[in-house]
Amino acid sequence: MTTYPTTPFDGQKPGTSGLRKKTKVFMQPNFLENFVQATFDAIGGVAGKTLVLGGDGRYFGDSAAQVILKMAAANGAARVIVGQGAWLSTPAASNLIRQRKADGGLILSASHNPGGPDEDFGLKYNMANGGPAPEAVTEAIFARSKVITEFRKLEAPDVNLEMVGESHLGGMTVEVVDPVCDYADLMETIFDFKALRGLFHEGFAMRMDSMCAITGPYAVEIFENRLGAPKGSVVHETPLPDFGGMHPDPNPTWAHELMAEMMGDAAPDFGAASDGDGDRNMILGRGVYVSPSDSIAVLAANAHLVPGYAGGLKGVARSMPTSAAVDRVAAALAIECYETPTGWKFFGNLMDAGRVSLCGEESFGTGSDHVREKDGLWAVLMWLNIIAARGQGVAEIMADHFTRFGRNYYSRHDYEALPSDVANAMLGDLRDRLDGLKGVVVQGLVVESSDEFSYTDPVDGSVSAQQGFRILFEGGSRAVLRLSGTGTEGATLRVYLERYVPGPEGLDADPQDALAPIIAATEEIVGIRARTGRQGPDVIT
Ligand code: VG1
Ligand code: CO
């Protein structure tokens, strides 16, 4: 039997990046099957198609891979290319889809969310361009999930995913590939590996924290094996089903071990961390933390020093809540800067149309058109290549950047697991009051304008409404508020705060101090503490 009757589950609506749920929700009988069949149905079936499959090694990923393989076979797929052990980082999956001209891919990951039987699991569909499915497709998947009556799955023994090579499942070929080598080869085409080898040869010290997640094997191969960084430069390098209990989110709060080392007396020259599925990055120098919004700006300003971008950038793009630091660089380079909603899926059309080369988000995401996902190790290599080319450390590069462009002080405050009704009512009230805020004076700041961000894709004309509230103050400061689309518990409120200081005075303040007036004004306008009963944010980045 290959066709099984089923009934719909509620809530199979993909969020900012795929469907994310508690692992136990995903493990319920038929839950995964329904979502996979809804995906296959929504993309017009998979008969005769080639798919890529892999994930970040988290708990349940290997079993889910077996289910997906049997379903792909029963649905008539021609070939599935799987990373050995069902492993593929998100950028490596994106690369494989493109390189092998596959029709699409399935990525088993909840990204930066913790993993394990009591934590989170996720599944995401990527298109033939290697990028996350756009909203039209995720809406179609959700619509299909609500009316699904059956799914197809081959009855067959599990496929051996531990050995590289080909095997057959029904009429379908399963090709198990080394998850690392194609990606590492791609990096060699972009960066000056010779210069980087020289850097490490001269004793440049780096700490890469893979947080027991998927980038470990990639980072060991690239930094230690190919570039000659000393063994042990990469730590937490073995992917574990529960990430060793770590929260694989590369920010100062969750990557605290690395933070402590980089801020300590014996800090190496350079530090970096990446997330569960390898698409995020955090960059640190000795005693310096680089905010992600600044990182994308620095990469844009220095990209011409990297062989892959020596011809200049076509344009850049950033998500709306990301600071305008990169806008200033784009203006200086006389290239276009696009502002998109949160989520990498909105960059795909711009890259495919040749309008942008570099994209970034404030949430530790940076990438380029070498793939169609953000790419953590790529960002680390960009920084290393720029350090090698300039012969300067992170602190000098940052100071120079601020002197040249001024500084967009920036911070994000997250209030996690709020009751959904409280969060929705708070933002609903804000929506009702938006029009009346213009001209209002709060904490000495004048509201210049306020709106709810709506995006019209310049390539295909599709519209994405309700993408976050913006409160702009006179003088270029702003607060942005939106609800997370990746959480699995209640609602997470994200408050993004920004203030521009042109310099030369005031370029080295503490961001929380520099932003204090904006924080206070936002509190007065929205009443977050009063309405949620929280004393302050759970995570500050
Ligand atoms: C968050 C980030 C967003 C990012 C998304 C997926 O979404 O804010 O910038 O694209 O995660 O990243 P949200 O809706 O929770 O704010 V990942 O590395 O989790 O795939
Ligand atoms: Co991620």
Mean pLDDT by 10 residues, the chain (541 residues): 92 91 96 98 97 97 98 98 97 98 98 94 97 94 97 97 96 97 98 98 97 97 98 96 93 93 96 97 96 97 98 97 97 97 94 97 96 98 98 97 96 93 92 91 91 95 93 91 85 95 89 92 91 90 89
Q: How far is the CA of 274 from the centre of ligand 2 (A)?
A: 8
372 lines ligand 1 (CB under 6 A): no
322 lines ligand 1 (CB under 6 A): no
Task: Give the per-residue pLDDT at 306.
Answer: 98
- Pocket test of ligand 1: the residue of 486, 494, 538, 539 to mutate, having most ligand atoms within 8 Å of its CB, is 486
20 lines ligand 1 (CB under 6 A): no
Tell which residue, 117, 112, 114, 110, has the closest CA to residue 245: 114
**8 Å CB contact between 293 and 337:** no
Name residue, tokens 């003088």.
475
Q: Which two tokens stand for residue 505?
A: 């005075």
Distance, in Å, from the CA atom of 523 to the CA atom of 328, rounded to the nearest integer, reads 28
Would you call 111 a catalytic residue per the annotation? yes
**8 Å CB contact between 123 and 107:** yes
Task: Give the per-residue pLDDT at 15.
Answer: 86
Q: How far is the CA of 389 from the centre of ligand 1 (A)?
A: 31
> Which residues, in sequence order, are bridge partners of residue 51?
80, 104
Which ligand has its closest atom nearest to the C-alpha of 16? 1
Calculate the dihedral angle through the C-alpha atoms of 474, 344, 434, 462, rounding to the nearest 10 degrees: 120
Q: How far is the CA of 279 from the centre of ligand 2 (A)?
A: 5
Distance, in Å, from the CA atom of 228 to the CA atom of 202, rounded to the nearest integer, reads 11
* Rounded alpha-carbon distances, angstroms, from residue 335 to 272, 301, 358: 29, 11, 11
Task: Give the per-residue pLDDT at 1.
Answer: 64
Distance, in Å, from the CA atom of 175 to the CA atom of 337, rounded to the nearest integer, reads 40
**8 Å CB contact between 172 and 80:** yes
Q: How far is the CA of 112 from the centre of ligand 2 (A)?
A: 5
Residue 536: count of CB within 10 angstroms of its CB: 11
Distance, in Å, from the CA atom of 336 to the CA atom of 11, rounded to the nearest integer, reads 38
485 lines ligand 1 (CB under 6 A): yes
Atom of ligand 1 nearest to the CA of 124: 20
83 lines ligand 1 (CB under 6 A): no
* Rounded alpha-carbon distances, angstroms, from residue 529 to 115, 441, 477, 519, 535: 30, 20, 21, 12, 6
